């Protein structure tokens, strides 16, 4: 794939997987529109990438958990006279805890960010990609897309949506020249765990660069989705091999330990 001189819009670009996507795309000569809430961090990243890789990088400070965030971004892109060739829908967050104890505002923001903004951004930019018969959309899902997740019920459900939505679009547009893939990593080193309250989960976390490289390989191979890591791939098959009730009860015990729930 030739990314040189194209423009990529990356959400959640201020840290973790999103920041690594930005770095790797810049290395490939891709110009960038970086979206996140952290204005100062975005400006710093944009400046560093421009200086290092001689590309254009524009920081856009937008809270994607707010209503009409996608509309604001699309309008800004239009005002800048830019065309989005590559869309990386990476922004997202989760909440670990008993559902009835989570504030309604937090639940709403989680769905707005993980589902609504991702869907709307895809809708905003896919049309012009289809017209050009060229484009890439990478939607970051998760291993939690493959099974219900007790104590992260909303997060798991949103990521199941992302996987289903993305695979459906892959089938719809696979002959259009637009490549669409759902990226399904396991736990990855990032600020996600501190924000979600899941730092106590004892598991080996993946390096963001491995996740990003897997995404690029999936695009090259025209995959509808990719599960990153052999062990994660095996885990994702468990709901097919065992009763769903057994799998979800096992997941419940893991998260109960993290939350110290008896």
243-251, long-range: CB < 8 A, 24+ apart: 244/147, 244/148, 247/147, 248/147, 248/148, 248/150, 251/147, 251/148, 251/149, 251/150
Give Cα separations from 33 to 56, 82, 95, 115, 195 (angstroms). 8, 9, 27, 21, 24
- Please report which residue ranges of 133-207 form alpha helices under DSSP H: 153-173, 192-196
Give Cα separations from 150 to 113, 114, 165, 197, 257 (angstroms). 20, 18, 22, 14, 12
DSSP reduced 3-state for 55: coil
Is 155 one of the annotated active-site residues of the chain?
yes
Distance CA 143, CA 159 (A): 8
Burial, 28: exposed, middle or buried (Cβ in 10 Å; 0-12, 13-18, 19+)?
middle
At 165, list the tokens: 């939505």
At 106, list the tokens: 């937090």
Which 8-state DSSP code applies to residue 199? T
The structure tokens 């795309």 sit at 25
Task: List the catalytic residue out of 3, 151, 155, 173.
Answer: 155
Give Cα separations from 217 to 18, 91, 181, 190, 213 (angstroms). 17, 21, 10, 22, 6
Measure CA 135 to chain center.
17
Q: Which residues are known to be catalytic?
A: 155
């Amino acid at each position: 794939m030739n990314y040189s001189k194209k423009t990529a819009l990356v959400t959640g670009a201020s840290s973790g997987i999103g920041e690594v996507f930005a770095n790797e795309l810049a290395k490939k000569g891709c110009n960038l529109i970086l979206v996140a809430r952290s204005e100062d961090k975005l400006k710093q990243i944009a400046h560093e990438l421009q200086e290092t890789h001689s590309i254009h990088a524009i920081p856009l400070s937008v809270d994607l958990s707010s209503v009409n965030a996608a509309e604001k971004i699309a309008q800004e892109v239009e005002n800048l006279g830019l065309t989005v060739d590559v869309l990386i829908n990476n922004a997202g967050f989760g909440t670990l805890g008993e559902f009835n104890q989570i504030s309604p505002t937090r639940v709403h923001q989680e769905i707005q960010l993980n589902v609504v903004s991702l869907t709307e951004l895809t809708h905003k930019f896919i049309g012009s990609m289809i017209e050009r018969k060229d484009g890439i959309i990478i939607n970051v899902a998760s291993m939690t897309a493959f099974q219900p997740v007790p104590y992260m019920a909303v997060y798991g459900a949103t990521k199941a949506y992302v996987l289903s939505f993305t695979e459906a679009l892959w089938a719809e547009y696979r002959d259009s020249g637009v490549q669409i893939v759902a990226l399904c990593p396991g736990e990855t080193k990032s600020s996600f765990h501190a924000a979600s309250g899941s730092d106590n989960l004892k598991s080996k976390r993946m390096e963001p660069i491995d996740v990003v490289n897997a995404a690029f390989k999936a695009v090259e191979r025209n995959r509808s989705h990719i599960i990153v890591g052999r062990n994660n791939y095996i885990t994702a098959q468990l709901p097919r091999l065992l009763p769903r009730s057994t799998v979800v009860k096992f997941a419940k015990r893991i998260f109960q330990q993290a939350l110290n729930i008896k």
